[in-house]
């Protein structure tokens, strides 16, 4: 284990583009941990969240995070990936406030095409 935690599940952006092929859209969102309410409350703002999604289906293809409890945030995303739950559902999910997972509500606002 590391402090802060460093986690990754699924595909990186370059891998997703290679797998997607021509005509498929791959979107990436990233944000600093500073935008997570729990990070501000605990004064542990070093870190980031990043996600890779299929721009056509909305499915999450990959996720990485650096920060306190990054593994807990990854577990939420990993369950969504395995269950076929898209990023829009996580954006609208009502998480406890303040919590680390609550950062997943804000992450998707920065989606950009790769």
The 10 Å CB-count burial string (b at 16+, else e) for 22-53 is eeeebbbbbbebebbbbbeeeebeebbbbbbb
Contact between 68 and 43 (Cβ < 8 Å)? no
Looking at 89, 97, 109, 114, which residue is catalytic? 97
Q: Cβ neighbours of residue 92 under 8 Å, at least 6 residues apart?
A: 105
The answer to whether 8 is a known catalytic residue is: no
Contact between residue 104 and residue 44 where contact means Cβ atoms under 8 Å apart: no
Catalytic residues: 97
């Amino acid at each position: 284990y590391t402090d802060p935690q460093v986690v990754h599940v699924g595909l990186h952006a370059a891998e997703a583009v290679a797998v997607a092929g021509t005509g498929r859209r791959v979107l990436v969102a990233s944000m600093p941990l500073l935008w997570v309410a729990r990070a501000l409350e605990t004064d542990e703002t070093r870190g980031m969240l990043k996600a890779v999604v299929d721009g056509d289906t909305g499915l999450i293809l990959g996720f990485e995070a650096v920060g306190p409890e990054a593994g807990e945030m990854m577990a939420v995303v990993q369950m969504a990936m395995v269950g076929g739950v898209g990023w829009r559902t996580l954006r609208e999910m009502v998480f406890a406030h303040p919590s680390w997972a609550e950062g997943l509500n804000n992450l998707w606002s920065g989606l950009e095409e790769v």
